[in-house]
């Protein structure tokens, strides 16, 4: 039998939060990128030294973020050029 708290948790999957495509809503990608970078580095490092882990995670996070932002800018310019 499901507890009342678990019903609310399951309801969140039935009606997810709407995240638009405005520039402000695109900021939601940064927490996701931070978690992806941390999990990736945690699985790739043989021995986990905390200073090295944080440094490499930060470098990976910044690298992915720059690539994602640059890709978004380039795609927006292409769309503006071809539809304008």
Locate the domains of the chain by residue range: 22-83
Please check whether residue 5 is in contact with residue 11, taking contact to mean a CB–CB distance below 8 angstroms: no
Query: pLDDT digit string (tens) for 48-67?
Result: 899 999 999 999 999 999 99
pTM exceeds 0.75 for this model: no
Please check whether residue 57 is in contact with residue 33, taking contact to mean a CB–CB distance below 8 angstroms: no
Query: pLDDT digit string (tens) for 7-29?
Result: 777 777 777 677 777 878 888 88
- Residue 38 CB partners (closer than 8 Å, separation 6+): 57
């Amino acid at each position: 039998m499901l507890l009342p708290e678990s019903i609310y948790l399951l309801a969140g999957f039935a009606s997810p939060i709407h995240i638009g495509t405005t520039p402000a809503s695109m900021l939601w990608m940064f927490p996701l990128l931070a978690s992806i970078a941390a999990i990736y580095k945690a699985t790739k490092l043989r021995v986990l030294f905390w200073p090295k882990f944080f440094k490499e995670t930060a470098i990976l996070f910044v690298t992915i973020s720059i690539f994602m932002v640059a890709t978004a800018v380039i795609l927006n310019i292409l769309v503006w050029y071809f539809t304008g």
